Amino acid sequence: GDDSDVECADAATRESLWRPPTQPPLRLGFPDGWPDSFRSCPPLKRLLGGSHLRGSRCRAVEPPSAAELTAAAAAGVVPLPLRSFANATRLAEASVGTSVVRGFCVFERLRDEPSGAERIFVGVRHWWNADATGRWVDITPPLVASARRSLLVE
């Protein structure tokens, strides 16, 4: 891909991200059928491991716990929406043993088309942290408010 913060396996989805406000909004969600879709869904496999994201590791990550958010706040880090680079960098600078992980947050495009339509996935450039044990922690508020977890790809 280029230096864009968004990667899509197809040009039509990428263009639809920038549609005029008069068009219906693009709906995104956590990839359906995870983790089976990791092995069984060719469009997801192409995005994750092909020429788009070139991912080396992929994990479904739960939202941060109350204790993690409290620890971040105590360290002076207030996570802001759509500011994953700054959030991850500040947390790594403020917390011993915490490092920054750079990659993408992957979403499935939610559509009202028949179930036989090819599934479409979008990767948004995103940074998060690894704690001292290597566990991934993402304190940035989710792009999709209803998200119960995030699919992160390094």
- The b/e string for 13-49 (b: 16+ C-beta within 10 A; e otherwise) is beebeeeeeeeeeeebebbeebeebbeebebbeebbe
Q: Number of folded domains in the chain?
A: 1
Report how far residue 124's alpha carbon sits from residue 116's, in angstroms, rounded to the nearest whole number.
Answer: 25
Q: For 14-62, how does the pLDDT look when each residue is reduced to its tens digit (9 = 90+)?
A: 666 656 656 666 789 999 999 999 999 999 999 998 778 989 999 999 9
Adjacent-strand bridge partners of 104: 125, 153
pTM: 0.84
DSSP 3-state assignment of 99? Answer: strand
Q: For 80-102, how does the pLDDT look when each residue is reduced to its tens digit (9 = 90+)?
A: 988 999 999 999 999 889 999 99
Residue reference for tokens 């922690």:
137
Task: Look up the domain containing 128 and give its range.
Answer: 6-16+27-153
Alpha helices (H) in the chain, listed in sequence order: 11-16, 36-40, 42-49, 66-74, 84-94
Report how far residue 87's alpha carbon sits from residue 72's, in angstroms, rounded to the nearest whole number.
Answer: 10
